């Protein structure tokens, strides 16, 4: 197992502030817009293209880059990351967005 790069770690309070900002933005966005996928039929088009893709990618990257998030010490953040993984691949999952919003209510500051 390779050692984790701790240089990308940020303090928990800063992570929570960023994460809740993204979640708040997602909650203000109509579900249909969050679920809209980009058009990647052209080779020069890059991910993310839509607001939902941007938010899912940003939140997933934020959490996945932290070495200190795991199911034992940060179960809520780990659960959120578990929902975000599939959303980062395919945003057209309305139930996953709803699950994300429900789990987010459990975030402790």
By mean pLDDT, which of 1-10, 25-34, 93-102 is the weakest?
1-10
Calculate the alpha carbon distances from 9 to 12, 56, 89, 103 in Å. Answer: 9, 19, 23, 22
pTM of the model: 0.89
pLDDT above 50: residue 1? no
Cα–Cα distance, 30 to 49 (Å, whole number) = 16
pLDDT at position 5, please? 54
Q: What is the pLDDT of the chain when averaged over all its residues?
A: 92
Percent pLDDT > 90 in the chain is: 83
Which among 53, 59, 22 is positioned nearest to 40, based on CA atoms? 53
pLDDT above 80: residue 4? no
Q: Where are the domains of the chain?
A: 20-36+46-104
Torsion angle defined by CA atoms of residues 34, 108, 4 and 86, in that order, rounded to the nearest 10 degrees: -30
Question: For the residues 52-74, what does the mean pLDDT come to?
Answer: 96
Per the listing, tokens 């070495």 go with 67
First to last CA, the chain: 31
- Is residue 34 a contact partner of residue 51, using CB atoms and an 8 Å limit? yes
Which among 35, 31, 19, 24 is positioned nearest to 76, based on CA atoms? 19
φ, ψ dihedrals at 82, nearest 5°? -65, -35
């Amino acid at each position: 197992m390779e050692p984790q790069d701790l240089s990308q770690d940020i303090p928990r309070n800063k992570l929570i502030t960023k994460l809740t900002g993204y979640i708040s933005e997602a909650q203000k966005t109509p579900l249909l817009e969050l679920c809209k996928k980009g058009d990647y039929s052209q080779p020069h088009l890059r991910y993310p293209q839509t607001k939902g893709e941007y938010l899912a990618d940003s939140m997933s990257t934020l959490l996945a880059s932290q070495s200190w998030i795991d199911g034992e010490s940060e179960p809520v953040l780990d659960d959120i990351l578990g929902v975000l993984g599939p959303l980062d691949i395919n945003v057209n999952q309305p139930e996953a967005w709803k699950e994300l919003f429900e789990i987010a209510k459990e975030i402790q500051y």
